[in-house]
Amino acid sequence: MSYEFIKTEKRGNILLVTMNRPEVYNAVHVDMHNEMADCWDNFAADQDLWVAVLTGAGDKAFTAGNDLKATAAGGSKAKMTSTGFAGLSSRFDLEKPIIAAVNGFAMGGGFETALSCDIILASENAKFALPEVKVGFFAAASGVQRLSRYIGRLAAQEMMYTGRTISAAEALQMGCVNEVHPHDELMAKAMEKAEQLCTVSPSAVKATKRVMNDFAKRDGMADSIAYSSEVIVDLAMTEDFKEGVQAFVEKRAPKWVNK
């Protein structure tokens, strides 16, 4: 698999995927979403690949989330994948586990990407937030649904309504990461976890995740994520939405008008 915006490497039964736009903190635009969707399709189809590890290039960011500068500039003419942010957030047919190795900050869609994985390991330097409200968006790529299920509705609401950032230690305490490791040990620990998953039956793991995927759909997550997509279309028509993006690009405080 060869891509422009991500790197992939096979290590036995493990696929290592690296989001590779370090110059923009691995922010994701339409073409990168589509590359990642294709990567997960190939991962699903490869009988010799049992587990994936997802991380970001560089030492600062897992991913900064949505590339707002690309959004403001009109972005690519390509159609966005139907499988959601990073090809993952709206995907409920992938039966192989993905480990997120969060090596730096995971903001907005970056946090949603991590939450869309099955196991989340974090560097002690990692930071997490759903700060979309600060730029006129909301966490429409499954953040509302997943974070509220993982840490409870009250804690999730406070994070999503304020857009505040939490440390890796607080994320562990709240229950939205599985483990926190020293920064220079993170990838070794992630590969160790992947190797551990390779010691059990891959067929049994796939069957377990199949049930987990079905449970998420029966629980209404898939429908709720689809509804988020409808709401973001309405939000995009507001003056506040346009102001949030423009203020971000111009590096100034937004002037909200509540309409």
Please tell me which residue in 23, 95, 124, 132 is annotated as part of the active site.
Answer: 132
The yes-or-no answer on residue 124 being catalytic is no
3-state secondary structure labels for all residues of the chain: CCCCCEEEEEECCEEEEEECCHHHCCCECHHHHHHHHHHHHHHHHCCCCCEEEEEECCCCEEECCECHHHHHCCCCCCCCCCCCHHHCCCCCCCCCCEEEEECCEEECHHHHHHHCCCEEEEECCCEEECCHHHHCCCCCCCHHHHHHHHHCHHHHHHHHHHCCEEEHHHHHHHCCCCEEECHHHHHHHHHHHHHHHCCCCHHHHHHHHHHHHHHHHHCCHHHHHHHHHHHHHHHCCCHHHHHHHHHHHHCCCCCCCCC
The yes-or-no answer on residue 4 being catalytic is no
Please tell me which residue in 4, 9, 95, 112 is annotated as part of the active site.
Answer: 112
Residues belonging to the active site: 112, 132
